[in-house]
Amino acid sequence: MAKQMIGDAPRRRRSTRGGTVLSAELIIETALRMLEQHGREGLSARRLAAALGADASTLYRYFRGMDDLALAIGDALIAGALRDWRRSGDWKSDLRAFGLRIYSSYLAHPQAAVLTASRVSGLPNEIAGDEIILSMLLDAGFPRRDAARIYHVFIDQCLAFACLDAAGLALPEPALRADEAMWQTTYATLPASTHPGIAATARHLAARMTRSAYPDALDTLLYCAATELTRHKSRR
């Protein structure tokens, strides 16, 4: 019989050697902390068990393996976006707010974001988030095929930017600062005679390129979706 995983029926909690009550939630919280402190390479079953004061074998009573734990970590990041979420009734504003919530939840844990943003877990929070997005699109009046397509673009765009920007934040501080400075130290000094496009926009590039393009990309997507919806309604 398959072991029960996150989202299945509640399981009995166990105590560690130090007397701490072990649970799936505590394992995930500890793994998140270890990821931020030591990076993805520093997270292993042995190290995680040591941080919890438990035997490594104990972890497998909660997760099938480290990959299963990674999926649960991703689901926990989505849980952060779901917390206290309320719809206002304006589909465009609500989708924008929800996209930024998911993105921000991932960016709060850069190492975990890089580890999990490309995964599909099928766990409760992921499913709940997908249901929210699709329901907003259907309630707005998008046909089912279009709702599925826009959802696909919406969630992939959100997670792609989360992964890209998290990868930057996960860099060592000197490397991150050097990359950010490149727009001032290299791009801003290129002459118009050889690089006219860069030279013409250098000041604007320096002002923009050290922050995420996700809000602008999200606004572009929502504008296109709203235009498409208006055309669809006008044809009915």
223 dihedral zone (left: phi>0; alpha: psi -120 to 50; beta)? alpha
The predicted structure's pLDDT at residue 3: 31
pLDDT above 70 covers a percentage of the chain that reads: 92
The predicted structure's pLDDT at residue 7: 38
For residue range 146-176, list pLDDT tens digits in order: 999 999 999 999 999 999 999 998 888 999 9
Instruction: Report the chain's mean pLDDT, rounded to a whole number.
Output: 91
DSSP string, 51-77: HHTS-HHHHTTT-SSHHHHHHHHHHHH
Residue 194 domain-assigned?
yes
The parent domain of residue 198 ranges over 173-218
Residue 227 domain-assigned?
no
Region 73-84: mean pLDDT is: 96
Nearest to 101 by CA among 142, 129, 131, 73: 129
For residue range 8-27, list pLDDT tens digits in order: 434 445 555 555 689 999 99
Task: Tally the domains of the chain.
Answer: 1
Residue 23 domain-assigned?
no
Residue 54 domain-assigned?
no
Residue 8 domain-assigned?
no
The predicted structure's pLDDT at residue 16: 53
Region 180-209: mean pLDDT is: 96
Residue 186 domain-assigned?
yes
Residue 50 domain-assigned?
no
| pLDDT at 207 exceeding the cut of 80 | yes
Residue 164 domain-assigned?
no
